[in-house]
């Protein structure tokens, strides 16, 4: 039971992390700390995809799933089963990479220095 609940939490955190990568530029326009964390997450995402590495959260999910000794109809719980369909899309790696590049371009357009100094909090 502990591993199932922990897996659900990690899957939800993984989904929230992906949403932060996609939409983090919006709050990042206002707060410097969020902006720097968002830029680091974009760089990390490109590194993961460029070297075909797995996300550390994926490794943790796999480990937690192996700790479960269940014989359910699908791996994990109901929540993890459906959230994982959003996290692990059934598309090629090149499409994921193109999507990441689009997110990066969108983010940098939101972070344009002509709008205000880049490393400054917005009042």
Q: Hey, where are the domains in the chain?
A: 2-110
Instruction: Give pLDDT tens digits along the chain (123 positions).
Output: 787 788 888 888 888 998 999 899 889 888 889 999 999 999 998 888 888 888 888 888 888 888 876 545 455 555 555 566 666 666 677 887 888 888 888 888 888 765 555 555 655
Is the alpha carbon torsion for 44, 10, 65, 99 positive or negative? Answer: negative
């Amino acid at each position: 039971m502990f591993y199932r609940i922990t897996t659900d939490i990690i899957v939800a955190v993984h989904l929230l992390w992906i949403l932060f990568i996609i939409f983090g530029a919006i709050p990042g326009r206002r707060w410097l700390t969020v902006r720097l964390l968002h830029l680091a997450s974009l760089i990390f995402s490109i590194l993961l995809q460029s070297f075909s590495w797995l996300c550390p959260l994926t490794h943790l999910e796999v480990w937690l799933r192996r700790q479960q000794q269940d014989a359910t109809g699908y791996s994990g719980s109901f929540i993890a089963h459906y959230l994982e369909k959003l996290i692990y899309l059934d598309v090629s790696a090149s499409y994921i990479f193109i999507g990441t590049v689009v997110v990066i371009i969108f983010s940098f357009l939101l972070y344009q220095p002509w709008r205000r100094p880049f490393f400054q909090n917005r009042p």
